[in-house]
Structure 1
Amino acid sequence: MKKLILFALIGLTLSANAQNKKSKSMVKNKKEEVTEKKAVVYQVFTRLFGNKNTTNKPWGTIEENGVGKFNDFTDKALTEIKKLGVTHIWYCGVPHHALVHDYTAIGISNDDPEVVKGRAGSPYAVKDYYNVNPDLAVNPAKRLEEFESLIARTHKSGLKVIIDIVPNHIARKYEGKTNPKGVRDFGADDNTSIEYARDNNFYYIPGQHFQVPTSDNYKPLNGEKNPLIDGKFDENPAKWTGNGSRLAKPDINDWYETVKINYGIRPDGSKDFPELPAGYDKKSYKEHFAFWKDKSVPSSWIKFRDIALYWTAKGVDGFRYDMAEMVPYEFWSYMNSAIKTKNPNAFLIAEVYNPHESRNYINLGKMDYLYDKVAFYDKMKEIVQGKSNTDGISDIQNSMADIEHHMLHFLDNHDEQRLASPEFAGSPEKGKPLMVVSTTISTSPTMVYFGQEVGEAGNENGGFGTHSRTSIFDYVGVPNHQRWMNGGKFDGGQLSQPEKDLRDFYKRLLNFTINSSALMGKYQEIHSLNRYATEGYFPEVYSYVRWSNTQKLVVIVNFSSEHTSHFELKVPADIIKAWKLKDGIYPVKDQLYGKSTSQLHVVNGEGKVHISIAPLQSFIYQL
């Protein structure tokens, strides 16, 4: 299986004479580079983060398997997350979603297990957008106040807050119990006698009752008896299902726990709302906001805009939008421009998987960042699994030159197989070099999923959720993370030495990236020049350069897990010229661990560095 090794030659420090001759513009550029830094998002599955229970019984109840609370994010926990090199924390699964637990004592209706996935429920079947998951509160009746306190603690620690908004679908049984004055629930004013109307919030199947999906291989709550499990769910007429199924009885593999939101897209796919004029891909969010100010838009647009502004007013700094490409980009222009008008620094992430639509959602939809999965993530996974070589990485980066800053890099999240799992990299160590490349190849933000930094492999089978992915449907514990949590001390006291070393690696790497001006600068591949080194053929090696006015980087990646690479790395003349380096020898020292040194030799305007790097090793050198 192929692996990855990094060598990064960083920070070609100006000579004393050159520093004495700095112009005022150079000082200004340096100041600008210091203020513009990479962002690092730390995604936590809020329900699981603080859970100390290690029972992990499949399909276990909240009493059996435990659950984390907002209050588990103590000042100490947040400080340690910040020290890891994090700028934003995404509290995943905060809005109140459907789940199987009795909260009728505080006025919340019970959810039918036949339209709930798992026992703890999917965070993407939101039941009430104006409140939060009662499971997460010490006092469920005061759950909103507890989350507001968490927002305040997070800001106090120096972190920004991100939560989910799921615009494409909501829970089949939506009930807004704490709506602000004047807010009507989704569907409350719909004409249910017809399939479609622009201002209906849902699509309907007139004359047909909803039928619970069935399967020989699946039973709600794993067959456990429950008074609501009777093969029926009261929905008449039936609504379209969240993934677009128009069947009154959706398939068991459909998103049957949700219903599709209508954004003014007619059943034939045509648009029933104003479209953005030509040229709006070049216009600012302020101009987009002005465009929509006097336009009549579908009811669902207004409802979701108001939801986003409600949370913005409470101090939420940004949103992660689930399945954003299933909603028209005109709506995103409308909503995101409204959010940016209230908070110009709002951090907006969209789950978009169609590369052909990326520019529409960035330029027309005014998204800040999109998942870079189909291109970068998938390529990294193929390489580490030995299914692909390094050829093609340059094409991916070059094809995104105009939008690379907007492509969020990640190697782990709640939807994907854990980086350290056998189904992905195979071990935490094998994931380390992938992480180095992920964080250094572009100006894009980096996202880390909690537990990734201590090698969590997602081995637990929670019930509805299966191994390799930490379950988002069940009450479970996260073993590696729990060892770092150490009973609430958040000091890594129970981690093994390799786990401590891994977290130290992440801490060093992430803190380096958020303080590096070069990583917010230019990129150029040198792979094609170095693929055939003097000592032989190196199909598993990939190299590129990054630079700014004050810092220069050379990154070398070796995806082999078996061979130490020995060769002379060539830095081409056009890079040496761009960096304004004269012939000479430049000593370099590793900045990640501070132990390794080497030399950059510049002869006749071309550079060479002798490389000797072991499997899975990474260097960040500074001249």
Structure 2
Amino acid sequence: MKKLLLPAAGALFALASFQLLSPAPAPRAVTSYQSDPNTTDEVPQDNKLVIYQMMTRLFGNKVATNKPYGTITENGVGKFNDINSVALQAIKKLGATHVWYTGVIEHATMTDYTKFGIALDDADVVKGRAGSPYAIKDYYDVDPDLAVNVKARMLEFEGLVKRTHANGLKVIIDFIPNHVARTYKSDAKPAGVVDLGEKDDKTKAFAVNNNFYYLPGQPLVVPAGNNPLGAQKGPKEDGKFAENPAKVTGNDVFSATPKVDDWFETIKLNYGVDYQHGRAKHFAPIPDTWLKMRDILVYWAKKDVDGFRCDMAEMVPVEFWAWVIPELKKVKPELVFIGEAYDAKTYKMYIEQGHFDYLYDKVGLYDGLRRLMRGEGNTEDITRVWREESRGFSSHMLRFLENHDEQRIASPDFAGDPKAAIPAMVVSATLGSGPVMLYFGQEVGEPANGAEGFSGNDGRSSIFDYWGVPNHQQWMNGGKFDGGKLDGGQKQLRDFYSRLLNLAGSSEAIRRGKFYELQDANNLGKDYDQRQVYTFLRYTDKQKLLIVANFSKDKTMRPTLRIPPQAFTAMGLDPNRVYAYQDLLNGMPATDNLTMTLTPQSAYIFEIQERH
């Protein structure tokens, strides 16, 4: 295991000090979005969501074998019951308010559960030994991998929901609306439910009440080379999967011959859009797929889940969301809907028309911070993000640095160093009032080494295969969930995340405050590298915060920070007074007249206080 080589606490989280000067130098030219181009309002949040995402099958797995393409017996798997109250209390103390249990709903897999009455999936259309959690096999059931007693698997999930709530956390699960597994067939559906595709007219490429799209007269040809097991073929890994007529592939491939890098293991659901005839919309009367998917969401809402992370939300017409989300909030008004979205031009539409509570901020803040963390970008990316999102949806954006789709920060494919997350995570957690998310293992510098199986050695923790997550297992410590096997650097890193997330979730200014950027005020300051340092204010009547992040990997800077008089006035403070600055993140003593020292890859959250 690669040790985390971090400096001592005093070096890593060194005190930043500064002397306030005014007036500020003239700002560079900027596009004016408001009367003051440096500031924007935030929509106040009573409670800022702090989401802890876990890949459920990986979280509780204590087996460290990690054989590529290993079976469930060889590599092990985590269970619902592994996520006990001790684990949940540790997640709660980390600062989380919600747990996103990824991969709960039953999906296609190579593991044989036929003795429990579950049909065997054809391995030719399964990715990895465990299978993708986004190739849903039965919307009304949970993954049997996750149960100690497979026959009681739903009871075990319901127990996890109750246990999560009892420990002061809320539950988010995935809803995958765009596609299902090629082998979809519900054996757990409630009485009276008609299965997806059961009444489809397969002679028609498109019919408004068909649940799937078809390619009449064309049998499916599974792409060559899709089977990763090679010589380890089992009885059904024979390249003879039969589907005739072929159904359209999940990533909108209207061809009977999808490629290996397509979502060939899935089939596209039909929401009433005729893609092959000008994308004509047929939404009245309400299409059958809409009704079926509403009923599925209601089913899970009645299991007492608190929210849904909606996979590839933009691949489903916004009109469906505009209808279904209000329908669900009639059942449970406090439900939270989070949409996975990547087209920034449609964000406002999916929030205002589609009624999503939150959307991924991947192509905005995540991509910009990733470039900064890799030494390839500059802080202009952050400026661009808040200016673009100041048009009314900043508080609706979910910020993160890792999730199941993205590479681990500590992997050589990303930053190669978990310390790179320190300034970036502070910006992610504090730039806006919307949610922030942490992916399990991120807080202990998991590098995702090794080729697990289908996805190869790509810097990600596999979603396709059975695997143990080494750094996370060190924190898990055989089920004690106490960090007993972490080294000093890992403990220090996790402590940073805990302090940050607890502060982000409790701070009045971060949850409810306005925003004021200080880049223009400091761009001419001595030793202030505006490309690598980012400084801003978050403030309400009750609390004023000054936040500083140094993204440089190797440069210590000693700038004299400037807060212009108009910024003090915006905060309701007298610019002629001297204030004390208390570092809430790093616990350093308050000061009012110091020279700033910014160590590499560091961040600071100062509360501006009246002098006593």
Normalising by structure 1, we get a TM-score of 0.88
Query: Quick check: 1:419 aligned with 2:415?
Result: no
**Contact 1:7–1:620 (Cα < 8 Å) also in 2:** no
CA deviations 1:75-117 (Å, max 9, x no partner) are 1101110110000100000000000011111111111111000
- The Cα of 1:536 is off from its aligned counterpart by 6.3
Query: Equivalences for 1:257-268 in 2 at 5 Å?
Result: 257-266=265-274, 267-268=276-277
Shift of 1:141: 1.0
Matches within 5 A, 1:131-142: 131-142=141-152
Structure 2 CA distance for aligned equivalents of residues 342 and 567 of structure 1: 54
Letter in 2 for 1:195: A
2:588 is matched with 595
* Equivalent-residue separation in structure 2 for 1:178 and 1:433 (angstroms): 47
Which residue pairs with 1:612 in the alignment? Answer: 597
**How much does 1:37 deviate?**
2.6
Find the counterpart in structure 1 of residue 545 from structure 2.
553
Go from structure 1 to structure 2 and tell me whether the alpha carbon gap of 1:376 and 1:536 turns closer, same or farther (over 3 Å shift): closer
Query: Counterpart of 2:550 in structure 1: which amino acid?
Result: N
Residue identity matched to 2:486: L
Q: Return closer, same or farther for 1:85/1:34 CA change in 2, 3 Å cut-off.
A: farther
User: Mapping of 1:337-352 within 5 angstroms?
Assistant: 337-352=326-341
Partner of 1:65: 75
State how 1:394-543 maps to structure 2 within 5 Å: 394-401=383-390, 402-467=392-457, 468-519=459-510, 520-535=512-527, 538-543=530-535
Question: Are 1:326 and 2:326 counterparts?
Answer: no
- The reply on whether 1:94 has 2:83 as its aligned counterpart is no
Q: Is 1:315 matched with 2:304?
A: yes
Deviation at 1:504, TM superposition (A): 0.7
Counting aligned pairs with the same residue, the percent is 49
Distance 2:314 2:590 in 1: 47
Residues 7 and 621 of structure 1 are in contact (CA less than 8 Å); yes or no, is this contact kept in structure 2? no
* Aligned-partner Cα distance in 2 for 1:517–1:591: 13
Query: Do the aligned partners of residues 299 and 6 (structure 1) sit closer, same or farther apart at CA in structure 2, a change above 3 Å counting?
Result: farther
Look up the match of 2:565. 573
Question: Quick check: 1:8–1:554 contact (8 Å CA) kept in 2?
Answer: no
Query: Match for 2:592: what amino acid?
Result: Q
One-letter code aligned to 2:319: E
* Distance in 2 (alpha carbons) for counterparts of 1:214 and 1:80: 45
Give the corresponding residue for 1:273: 282
| Mapping of residues 101-116 of structure 1, within 5 Å | 101-116=111-126
Hey, what's the Cα distance between the residues in 1 that align with 2:16 and 2:287? 51
Query: Using a 3 Å threshold, how does the CA distance of structure 1 residues 8 and 139 change in structure 2: closer, same or farther?
Result: farther
1:185 maps to 2:174: no
**CA distance in structure 2 between the aligned counterparts of 1:168 and 1:263, rounded to whole angstroms:** 9
Distance 2:602 2:57 in 1: 35
- Indicate yes or no: 2:53 matched with 1:43: yes
Give how far 1:426 is off: 1.6
**What CA distance in whole angstroms lies between the structure 2 residues aligned with 1:615 and 1:112?**
51
1:509 Cα offset (Å): 0.6
Distance 1:489 1:162, change over 3 A: same
Counterpart contact for 2:528–2:557, Cα < 8 Å: no
Contact 1:518–1:552 (8 Å) recurs in 2 = yes
SS of structure 2 residue aligned to 1:480: helix
1:273–1:536 Cα change, 3 Å: closer
Give the structure 1 partner of residue 23 of structure 2: none
**Cα deviation code 1:243-293 (max 9, x no counterpart):** 11122121111101000000000022434334xxxxxxxxxxxxxxxxxxx
Residue 21 of structure 2 aligns with which residue? none
Could you tell me whether the CA contact under 8 Å between 2:215 and 2:248 is conserved in 1? yes
- 1:361 matched to 2:350? The reply is yes
> How far apart are the structure 2 equivalents of 1:580 and 1:135?
56
8 A contact 2:312–2:341 mirrored in 1: yes
Question: 8 Å contact 2:550–2:603 — kept in the other structure?
Answer: no
Q: Distance in 1 between matches of 2:52 and 2:344?
A: 24
- 1:230 alignment partner in structure 2: 238
Alpha-carbon distance between aligned partners in 1 of 2:584 and 2:180, rounded to the nearest angstrom = 47
In the alignment, the residues of structure 2 paired with residue 51 and residue 469 of structure 1 have an alpha-carbon distance, to the nearest angstrom, of 17
Q: Distance in 2 between matches of 1:8 and 1:325?
A: 43
Offset of residue 585 of structure 1 = 2.1
Aligned position for 1:19: none
Deviation at 1:390, TM superposition (A): 1.3
Contact 1:100–1:113 (CA under 8 A) maintained in structure 2: yes
1:400-428 residue CA offsets vs partner (Å, 9 max, x unmatched): 01100111000000000012212212211
> Could you tell me whether the CA contact under 8 Å between 2:365 and 2:381 is conserved in 1?
no
User: How many angstroms apart in 2 are the aligned matches of 1:584 and 1:527?
Assistant: 22
Structure 2: segments with no counterpart, 5+ residues: 1-11, 18-42
Residue 579 of structure 1: CA displacement?
2.2
Deviation larger for 420-429 or 362-371: 420-429
**CA displacement, residues 13-49 of structure 1 (integer Å, 9 cap, x when unaligned):** xxxxxxxxxxxxxxxxxxxx99813110100000000
User: Comparing 473-482 with 202-211, which one deviates more in the overlay?
Assistant: 202-211
**d(CA) in 1 for partners of 2:263, 2:55:** 20
SS in 2 for 1:565: coil
Q: CA deviation at 1:212?
A: 1.6
Distance (Å, rounded) in 2 between the aligned partners of 1:37 and 1:554:
21
Q: In the TM superposition, what are the counterparts of 1:23-34 in structure 2 within 5 Å?
A: none
SS at 1:569 equivalent:
coil
**Separation of aligned partners in 2, 1:531 and 1:5:** 24
Aligned-partner Cα distance in 2 for 1:5–1:206: 63
Deviations 1:399-456 (A, max 9, x none): 1011001110000000000122122122111212211111011111001000101111
- Cα displacement (A) at 1:223: 3.3
The answer for the alignment partner of 1:277 in structure 2 is none
- AA aligned to 2:341 is V
Q: 1:535 to 1:112 in 2, by over 3 A?
A: closer
Cα contact 1:6–1:433 (8 A) shared by 2 = no
Cα 1:60–1:374, aligned 2, differ >3 Å: closer, same or farther?
A: same
- Per-residue deviation, 1:525: 1.0
Distance 2:15 2:189 in 1: 54
Q: 5+ unaligned residues in a row in structure 1: which ranges?
A: 10-32, 275-294, 601-608
Give 3-state SS (helix, strand or coil) of 2:521's partner: helix
| 3-state secondary structure, aligned to 2:578 | strand
Distance in 2 separating the partners of 1:273 and 1:199:
10
Native 8 Å contact 2:16 2:598 kept in 1: no
Runs of 4 or more off by more than 4 Å in structure 1? 4-9, 535-538
Q: CA deviation at 1:6?
A: 10
Matching residue's letter, 1:137: A
Give me the whole-angstrom Cα distance separating, in 2, the residues matched to 1:422 and 1:532. Answer: 35
Please list the CA deviations of residues 523-562 of structure 1 after superposition, one character each: whole Å capped at 9, or x if unmatched. Answer: 1211011122135654322211110111111122222122
d(CA) in 1 for partners of 2:267 and 2:600?
49
CA distance in 2, matches of 1:271, 1:160: 39
Alignment of 1:212 with 2:222, yes or no, is yes
Cα distance change on mapping 1:595 and 1:214 into 2, 3 Å: same
Equivalent position of 2:261 in the other structure = 253
1:104-161: CA deviation from partner (whole Å, max 9, x where unpaired): 1111111111100001000000000101000000011111110000000001001110
Equivalent residues of 2:16, 2:596 under 8 A apart? no
Distance 1:323 1:589 in 2: 42
Aligned residues: 568
Root mean square deviation of aligned Cα: 1.9
Quick check: 206-215 or 586-595, which moved more? Answer: 586-595
